[in-house]
A and B are shown apart, each in its own frame.
Chain A
């Protein structure tokens, strides 16, 4: 057993950390936070040049062909830096969907553009309130065109294309759902930006009116692909969450060492120490669950569905816990716009919902554990 990343993978993590600390300091994140840009274009270009966008895309499709363990270590750093770029929508969702279900021609068309930073992609799944469910998909696909409304769509306003879940049948079964690729710059597509709690990552509403759509994967197999994509994205997002949780913990720790009250550093008071210790515990449990998820993802193991749900739940809880208590450790200063604490708090709580909320994944985990126990 070697339950750790390799030296090469750790080196890649160090490279990513160095790159992001230079190219994505909090000041850069604030440009997007303050609405001066919809995302950090220079950073996006830089990530492409570093080969990070295509790290898990095979070489024949313009990527680095490294693998998903490498993508996990980069994801952790993206979360740590709160990188204000459409990385998760493009790389974890759109690229994974195309890798799983795309034809050779579709892979040739989109994956090189993703790796080079020339195409931003996303997954258009949700239609209003609620968690992922085939029943909630109302957008219809008929005669090669889509009709209906998707919201929220992560990074929808800046995306070039979307993988869209649409209804192609009415049997009431999962097989009613099929996937399509839609060029969002083409006719029949209306995109409207939506405000959301995480000002560093955009959300949008996309309306399709006879929008041209190309099938992705066989008709009727859309939901099965969605489930796989969500599981894979859950592991990758969990690494982002662990990166964010660790950073929030560090910020709290550093402030507790620095801030003096009652004549001593506040980090010498047990009430504060124990709060930080508990943050460390949740971040550590999440990291370990994530490692298992990374193993399952990279080997495409049968354990992936259970491992992904566990990583997702654990990382969601850890990031929320650390971001919230980081503000608490900072006291009043933590509640100012000027301090960065709120950026982590916002991200922690928005990212907790993006792939389906905590209760959705808790439900999924119990179902998957039961299935395993029954087997």
Chain B
């Protein structure tokens, strides 16, 4: 048991560190280090543009999508090297946010199911950030039950014609391509009638509408499809095999361990170390200390759980669904921390004006944003089901629609 780099790892780290020191956009370092909790704010620059510039530079230097094969724009690096890179990239890693869905989910799906031509055409540009990808899975009536999706794709000659609506698509407004799952046969049970495609987001008939969220921001979109034509060459996997293909996508999401998971704990520790209460610093209050300690051990537990997964990965073992605990633990923790930080400020905790905000207003922002952390990418409840069924081996839910043809499944409760 050790944390030491092997000689090869140490050498890799040294090379990475040197390259970053010479090439990183240092003008953004301070601003990036201050923008915490996954919410990246650059006062005078467009995040996506700054991100693209950094991604391009990385690709030119051979530091983009490190674990991908070289012919597809990667470096052929080992899982451990990828983690070392992330550690060294530090705050600049926050600039990779627009590319994470492409790198973590869409790219690996194309890599596993795409033709050689498609891989050579699309993956290097995805890796270099020149083309951004989004994922078109969720629908208004297919969230946790994503296999119940309604968007239709119908075969017309060598093409497919798509009609329907997707929702909760991060980055659709700046994406060039999208990974789309659609229903190609409504006469068979729901999991069996799905097919996976990718499409040009600039295709005629694609309309992206931003969603105004509960926190007042607009990060997600609705995407409408009206007679959108997709060539059959952009199908991934066989017709009717879309569900299996989607599982590759979701499994790759779990492979992206060691990713930057915000817990709110360092921010809360600093906040309590500086907040003066009536009887002294918040951090000297036994009740505050008790809560802080419980959160701190959750955060360290998550960190070392990811180290265990990295170690398994480096030995060639596949990380399992047990990595589902990261988001499950951190989502609720962010919400609880935000609530408690504001509680410590008393009535003034609710204020969000620039003059009133303590700690940059980050806890107020976190409070309003954290509900989405517990829903996006698998709700807390779905994650608990995954742990219960795939880790603990408990029975699956009784699925009353399992063997029913999709078009016979009821669509209204009452």
Contacts and interface: CB of A to CB of B under 8 A. Distances in A.
Contacts of B1: 2-6, 69, 291, 294-295, 298
Contact of B296 (A256, A272, A365): A365
A265 interface: yes
Contact of A363 (B289, B322, B383, B388): B289
A5 B311 CA distance: 10
A1 B381 contact: no
Interface stretch (B145-153, B214-222, B394-402): B394-402
B297 A281 contact: no
A285 B283 contact: no
Select the residue from A3, A253, A309 with max chain B CB neighbours within 10 A: A3
B122 interface: no
The majority secondary structure among interface residues of chain A is helix
A309 B297 CA distance: 9
B328 A281 contact: yes
A286 interface: yes
A284 interface: yes
A70 B175 CA distance: 52
Given A276-B388, A363-B289, A369-B269, 19 more contacts: A1-B4, A249-B392, A253-B393, A277-B388, A278-B384, A284-B305, A285-B298, A285-B305, A288-B305, A289-B300, A289-B304, A291-B1, A295-B2, A310-B297, A313-B294, A362-B290, A362-B294, A366-B292, A373-B269
The majority secondary structure among interface residues of chain B is helix
A116 interface: no
Contacts of A253: 392-394
B384 A289 contact: no
Interface in B157-190: none
Interface string A291-305: 110110011000000
A103 interface: no
Given A285-B297, A288-B304, A292-B304, A270 B311 contact: no
Select the residue from A286, A295, A359, A365 with max chain B CB neighbours within 10 A: A365
Select the residue from B292, B302, B307 with max chain A CB neighbours within 10 A: B307
A313 B289 CA distance: 13
A129 interface: no
A27 interface: no
Interface in A352-367: 359, 361-363, 365-366
Interface residues of A, number: 49
Interface in B37-65: none
A362 B398 contact: no
A335 B247 CA distance: 42
B310 interface: yes
Contact of A4 (B308, B383, B394): B308
Interface in B384-414: 384-385, 387-389, 391-398
Interface string B286-316: 1001101110111011111101101110100
A156 B289 CA distance: 33
A292 B300 contact: yes
Contacts of A272: 394
Given A295-B3, A369-B296, A3 B310 contact: yes
Given A4-B312, A268-B397, A276 B392 contact: yes
A30 interface: no
A314 interface: yes
Contacts of A361: 293
Contacts of A274: 381, 384-385, 388
Contacts of B80: 1
Contacts of B293: 309, 313, 361-363, 365-366
A50 interface: no
B394 A285 contact: no
Contacts of B4: 1
28 contacts: A1-B9, A1-B311, A3-B304, A4-B1, A4-B312, A265-B394, A268-B394, A268-B395, A268-B398, A270-B384, A273-B394, A277-B392, A278-B384, A280-B325, A281-B325, A281-B387, A284-B301, A285-B302, A285-B325, A285-B329, A288-B305, A291-B1, A291-B304, A309-B293, A362-B293, A365-B297, A366-B283, A373-B269
B273 interface: yes
Contacts of B11: none
B322 to A, nearest CB: 7
Nearest to B265: A369
B311 A3 contact: yes
A278 to B, nearest CB: 7
A278 B9 CA distance: 36
B343 interface: no
A298 B1 CA distance: 9
B286 A1 contact: no
B31 interface: no
Interface in A70-113: none
B294 A280 contact: no
A271 B79 CA distance: 37
Interface string B5-33: 10001000000000000000000000000
A278 B314 CA distance: 28
A313 B80 CA distance: 30
B353 to A, nearest CB: 30
A138 B203 CA distance: 82
B3 A3 contact: yes
Nearest to B307: A3
Closest 9 pairs (CB-CB, A-B) = A285-B301, A362-B293, A288-B304, A273-B388, A277-B384, A277-B387, A268-B395, A3-B307, A267-B394
Interface in B347-389: 381, 383-385, 387-389
A369 B292 CA distance: 11
A264 interface: yes
A278 B332 CA distance: 13
A175 B296 CA distance: 31
B311 to A, nearest CB: 4
A256 B394 CA distance: 8
Contacts of A268: 394-398
Contact of B297 (A256, A294, A314, A363): A314
